[in-house]
Structure 1
Amino acid sequence: MTTDELAAFDEAVVESVAADREVSVERLTDVVRTHQANVRELPGVEDIVYEWRNYFHLDPLVGRTEDAYYLALPDHVWAEFTDDLDLTEAESEALLAVHDAQARAAPDAAGVDETRLDGDAALVLTRP
């Protein structure tokens, strides 16, 4: 069984970021879903997390639950994702903001180290 791409994202977080960034909730939801689907297709959530954990000097995994991985990555990692999605600047900023807000709103059980999010870009991946 495959988990919905948006399972790791709270509607209230998406709605709040959309309002703050002046992007419609529907558009931001679509962008988040598309980004999650793209990660699942190539190379896959488990594989990309494994690769990043081995590639970066500082382990980017800052928390996890059964439903999600919470990562803190260098900003440049996001450039490839946003380029592939062909986003406007406002949509790109909203996408990064929703990941940051969701990582900071992660359940206590995730054990997210928020101090890592202050220096790196948050990325939340729904586990399939």
Structure 2
Amino acid sequence: MGDPLRFRDDDPAEEPAVTLDAFLDQSNSSAVRLEAGEDARALLPHLDHISLIEIDFPRFRDGRGYSSAQILREAGYKGELRATGDVLVDQIDHMRRCGFDGFAPNAPIDPAVLEASLNRYKYRYQTAADGAVPVWKLRHG
């Protein structure tokens, strides 16, 4: 795994992410890793001092990480939210809509394919964590 893909302007978190259990036992880390099935709501009281939350996708078809991202962003988390594991290029656009802004996929992603994937859809139909204005709102205010 090389450098993670990032869609942020700040510096990447340098501290390695600890497990959720380790974080909750000592809570002095600023980076935490959620495995599939762990409850993101356990982090809500600590969001103000976490700079990186990694959410693991053990298989591309496991969508639990999308829900975790949505929960964290709706709760006001502003730090980096990084999808790790079996992340495919055609998922990144949807993951960004849920609030992910960093990616560390197991397999390398071709930059040209990523660019094409991110520009595939001109309009959005729903509101989401990415702040894109839905097409109906553009047309009808």
TM-score by length of 1: 0.29
Q: Which has the higher helix share?
A: 1
Q: Which has the higher strand share?
A: 2
